[in-house]
Homo-oligomer: A and B are copies of this chain.
Amino acid sequence: MNVDGKPTRTLWLDQDGTGVCILDQTRLPHELVIRILHTADDAAHAIRTMQVRGAPLIGATAAHGLALAMRADPSDDGLAAAHGLLLATRPTAINLRWALDRVRAALAPLAPAEREGAARRLAVEICDEDVAINRGLAAHGLPLLQEAWARKGRRGRVEVLTHCNAGWLATVDWGTALAPVYAAHDAGLPVHVWVDETRPRNQGASLTAWELARHGVPHTLIADNAGGHLMQHGYVDLCIVGTDRTTARGDVANKIGTYLKALAARDNGVPFHVALPSPSLDTSLRDGLQEIPIEQRDPSEVTHISGLLPSGELASVRIAPAGCPAVNHGFDVTPARLITSLITERGVCPASEEGLRALFPERFPAP
Q: Give A residues with C-beta under 8 Å from B.
A: 29-30, 197-200, 202, 205-206, 209-210, 213, 219-230, 232-233, 255-257, 259-261, 263-264, 267, 289, 294, 299, 302-310, 315-322, 324-329, 331-333
Tell me, in angstroms, the Cα distance from A220 to B263 when the chains sit together. Answer: 24
Tell me, in angstroms, the Cα distance from A12 to B219 when the chains sit together. Answer: 45
What are 11 sample pairs from A and B whose C-beta atoms fall under 8 A apart?
A: A29-B322, A197-B302, A199-B199, A202-B319, A209-B324, A220-B327, A223-B302, A223-B328, A225-B332, A226-B332, A308-B319
Contact A227-B318, Cβ < 8 Å, known A205-B303, A232-B333? no
Q: Judge whether B317 and A228 touch: CB under 8 Å.
A: no
Q: Judge whether A224 and B199 touch: CB under 8 Å.
A: yes
Q: Judge whether B225 and A198 touch: CB under 8 Å.
A: yes
Q: Judge whether A223 and B317 touch: CB under 8 Å.
A: no
Q: How far is the CB of A60 from chain B (nearest CB, A)?
A: 25
The interface residues of chain B lying within 8 Å CB-to-CB of A227 are: 260
Q: How far is the CB of A141 from chain B (nearest CB, A)?
A: 24
The interface residues of chain B lying within 8 Å CB-to-CB of A261 are: 260
Question: Number of copies of this chain in the oligomer?
Answer: 2
Contact A318-B326, Cβ < 8 Å, known A260-B225, A263-B260, A333-B232? no
Q: Max chain B CB contacts within 10 Å: which of A227, A304, A332?
A: A332
Q: Judge whether B309 and A307 touch: CB under 8 Å.
A: no
Of all chain B residues, which has the CB nearest A213?
A: B321
The interface residues of chain B lying within 8 Å CB-to-CB of A256 are: 223, 225-226, 229
The interface residues of chain B lying within 8 Å CB-to-CB of A260 are: 225, 227-228, 260-261, 263-264
Q: Judge whether B205 and A223 touch: CB under 8 Å.
A: no
The interface residues of chain B lying within 8 Å CB-to-CB of A294 are: 229
Q: Judge whether B317 and A220 touch: CB under 8 Å.
A: no
Q: Judge whether B320 and A206 touch: CB under 8 Å.
A: yes
Tell me, in angstroms, the Cα distance from A209 to B302 when the chains sit together. Answer: 12
Q: How far is the CB of A154 from chain B (nearest CB, A)?
A: 23
Q: Judge whether B224 and A320 touch: CB under 8 Å.
A: no
Q: Judge whether A220 and B320 touch: CB under 8 Å.
A: no
